[in-house]
Each structure stands twice: as C-alpha cells, then as structure tokens.
C-alpha cells in the first residue's frame, strides 16, 4: 500500500485518494458513473435555466491578474500564482469581475461554469481545483438571492427527476432534498441575528480585529437549530472581499449573503459597487492595492451599473446531494497541490 493508495484499504479504490490504477478501478463503480452523469446534468440544466432568462454564457480564460475570492480578510483561500513565459499571473479563483463586464455586454446577465484554483491544502470540505457555476445579473442583493433559490431548486429537482433512484441508493434515501425542492424561498437571517442565535460563542463565531465571521461549526449549528437550508446575509464588510457593496451609508456591513446547506456555505452571493469611486473607497478600506484593479475601476467609471452575482461550488452541491462525507470523493480525476498525478 503506497502513500497515494486509498484510505479504504489496498483492495478498494472507492475513496478519494489517487492510486496508480484508480482511473481504471472506478470505471465500474456505481458512485462514479452517477457522478459523471450528474456533472453532465449540471451543465445541461444550467444552460436551460439561463436560456429562459436570456443570460449569456461567456468563454473566459483561466488566467488573470485580478484575483477576487481570496481578497477578504475572512477568506480561507490562497491564490495560485504561475509564471507564464516570464510574466507572473494567477490561475483564476473566479472570473466574477469578467461576469460584471459581461453584464455590460448583455443586459440580462452573464454566466459560466469553469474551474477555480486554490493554493491552500485540500481537506474534507475544500478542493484545490473545483468547478464554479457563477453568474452576474442586473439588480441587487434581494434579486440575486431569489435567483439562487430558483437555480438550486431547479438543479436539485432535475437531478431527482432523472436519477432519483440512483441518488437514493448512494445517499441512503431522498429525504434530505425535501427542504430544497419543497420551498420557493429559503429562510433568511442576518449575520448579526446569527451571532445572537449562537450566543456569540467562540467556537461558532470567529473574532478578529475589526470583523467577525462564522466558523464551520457555527454554520452547522445554525443548520441544526434554525433550518437545514438557510441564508445568512449582511456580514461584516472586512470579512468579505472588497467588491461587495456596502449596506447603506455605514461601512460596517456588506450587501452579501451565503446560502448554507450540507457542509455549510454552498453558494456565496452579493451586490457590487455601482461605480469606480465606491469600489476605490472599498479597496482603501480593505487596504488592498488598486494597481491590479485599474481596469475594473475604469469599467465602473465608464459604465456605472448596479449588478449582483453568485458562485455555487458544484462539488459542494454534489457532496450534499450524494451525502458524501468528503468533498475529495467528488472528483473523477483527483488533483492535489504539490503532487504529480496521472491521468
């Protein structure tokens, strides 16, 4: 048994750990055949969902000089820098900024499904390379939260309709999906309300200099005591990326929200700053150099627009749907930072 053998024993390759013959051994595993079918369903059903809403798909590069998700002080993400022929750049953690640009090309919004790259170590809830379903639309926070409700319900309903018996066999039943497909709107609380419900206990609420955020244990406690599918909105602004709009005149809270179910945050969303002056003010507030965001500021100055967007972690949704305990199971082809893997 080698270092890369599966944790399930030398004769099994059902788990996430890569092994020399894993790519052959999983070909007949029902779990991975279902996973391949569900990956296809996400693309097909996402296309159908956005077609009805006239949003346009964008083909975008996987490299960028303008990183987004790791920029919040409360983020647990690390950007992945690469050298491209002598030029330092980054593998995309998100192309949300370009989706904002896409809203200015198409008034109904823009979307994509593409890989995201992170530099931190993988663990049971995080992948080094995962797939993002992201979109940006004209409108505000309430608009995008309502849209996410519909999108998550659409994906889940389609999966159950097409593969319900197979999902039930893997997941041990379908009872967990009822809270998602059975509601038109998921319950909503603010971050301040969440802190109060959790009695601001240290194991549930992380305190830093000037900002707070929920721990994974805190998310789980809310899902246990409030509702198994739950929106938490208006986080402390310094705990989220700079590009989230401020909630009102105060700079304390953000117009953002996370949709919690399964392992916790599955969807993150927010309203953006409308113009360049607001975005620059937020960069200064977060002590982030505006150098890499010059084009972004110029876009907002030239074409001010109120937009909001979201990102759904596809493997996190699949993890919940299949009731997996480890997100690393949700990869047909595993990738681990710092380890050369085939295929």
List pLDDT tens digits, range 216-245.
Answer: 999 999 999 999 999 999 999 999 999 999
On average, the pLDDT of the chain sits at 92
Quote the DSSP letter at residue 65. S
Show the tokens assigned to 166: 């197979």
Alpha helices in 27-140 (DSSP H): 30-52, 96-105
Give the per-residue pLDDT at 73: 65
The size of the chain, in residues, is: 343
Closest C-alpha to 178, from 299, 261, 103: 261
Give the per-residue pLDDT at 79: 87
Distance between CA atoms of 221 and 199, rounded to whole angstroms? 11
Closest C-alpha to 183, from 144, 225, 231, 229: 229
Residue pair 278/254 in contact (Cβ under 8 Å)? The answer is no
Residue pair 131/315 in contact (Cβ under 8 Å)? The answer is yes
Q: Residue 81's beta-bridge partner residues?
A: 90
Name the one residue in this structure whose structure tokens are 């960028």: 64
Closest C-alpha to 293, from 57, 126, 64, 115: 64
Distance between CA atoms of 245 and 240, rounded to whole angstroms? 10
Phi, psi of 172 (to 5 degrees): 80, 25
Residue pair 267/186 in contact (Cβ under 8 Å)? The answer is no
Give the per-residue pLDDT at 71: 55
Query: pLDDT above 70 covers what percent of the chain?
Result: 93
Give the per-residue pLDDT at 292: 86
Show the tokens assigned to 8: 């399930």
Q: Residue 80's beta-bridge partner residues?
A: 91
Residue pair 232/254 in contact (Cβ under 8 Å)? The answer is no
DSSP secondary structure letters along 201-256: -TTTEEEETTEEEE-HHHHHHHHHHT-SSEEEE--BGGGS-TTBPBSSS-SSBBSE
Name the one residue in this structure whose structure tokens are 């530099």: 119
> One digit per residue, pLDDT tens: the chain, 343 residues?
333 343 334 444 456 778 888 899 899 999 999 999 999 999 999 999 999 999 999 999 999 988 876 555 666 678 899 999 999 999 999 999 999 999 999 999 999 999 999 998 899 999 999 999 999 999 999 999 999 999 999 999 999 999 999 999 999 999 999 999 999 999 999 999 999 999 999 999 999 999 999 999 999 999 999 999 999 999 999 999 999 999 988 899 999 999 999 999 999 999 999 999 999 999 999 999 998 899 999 999 999 999 999 999 999 999 999 999 999 999 999 998 888 888 8
Give the per-residue pLDDT at 127: 94
3-state secondary structure of 16: coil
The region that residue 86 occupies, defined by phi over 0 for left and psi between -120 and 50 for alpha, beta otherwise, is left
Show the tokens assigned to 154: 């659409």
Give the per-residue pLDDT at 15: 66
| Fold of domain 22-182+267-329 | BirA Bifunctional Protein; domain 2 (3.30.930)
Tell me the pTM. Answer: 0.93
Query: pLDDT above 90 covers what percent of the chain?
Result: 82
3-state secondary structure of 162: helix
Question: What pairing do the DSSP bridges indicate for beta strands 80-84 and 211-214?
Answer: unpaired
Residue pair 128/143 in contact (Cβ under 8 Å)? The answer is no
């Amino acid at each position: 048994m080698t270092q890369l053998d599966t944790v399930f024993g030398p004769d099994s390759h059902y788990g996430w750990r890569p092994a020399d013959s894993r790519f052959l051994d999983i070909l007949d595993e029902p779990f991975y055949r279902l996973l391949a079918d569900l990956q296809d369903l996400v693309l097909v059903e996402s296309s159908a969902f956005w077609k009805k809403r006239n949003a346009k798909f964008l083909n975008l590069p996987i490299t960028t000089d303008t990183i987004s998700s790791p920029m919040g002080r409360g983020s647990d993400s690390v950007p992945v820098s690469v050298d491209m022929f002598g030029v330092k750049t980054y593998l995309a953690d998100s192309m949300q900024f370009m989706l904002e640009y896409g809203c200015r090309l198409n008034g109904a919004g823009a979307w994509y499904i593409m890989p995201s790259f992170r530099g931190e170590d993988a663990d049971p809830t995080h992948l080094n390379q995962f797939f993002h379903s992201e979109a940006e639309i004209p409108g505000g926070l309430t608009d995008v939260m309502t849209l996410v409700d519909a999108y998550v319900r659409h994906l889940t309903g389609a999966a159950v309709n097409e593969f319900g018996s197979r999902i039930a066999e893997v997941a041990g039943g379908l009872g967990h999906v009822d809270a998602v497909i059975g509601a038109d709107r998921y319950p909503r609380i603010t971050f301040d309300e969440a802190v109060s419900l959790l009695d601001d206990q240290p194991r549930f609420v992380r305190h830093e200099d000037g900002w707070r955020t929920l721990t994974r244990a805190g998310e789980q406690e809310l899902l246990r005591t409030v509702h198994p599918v739950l929106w938490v909105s208006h986080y402390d602004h310094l705990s989220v990326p700079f590009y989230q709009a401020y909630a009102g005149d105060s700079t304390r809270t953000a117009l953002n929200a996370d949709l919690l179910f399964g392992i916790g945050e599955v969807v993150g969303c927010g309203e953006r700053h409308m113009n360049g002056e607001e975005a620059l003010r937020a960069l200064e507030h977060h002590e982030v150099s505006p150098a890499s965001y010059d084009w972004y500021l110029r876009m907002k100055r030239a074409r001010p627009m109120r937009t909001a967007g979201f990102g759904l972690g596809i493997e996190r949704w699949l993890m919940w749907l299949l009731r997996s305990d480890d997100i690393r199971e949700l990869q047909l082809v595993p990738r681990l930072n710092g380890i050369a893997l085939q295929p």
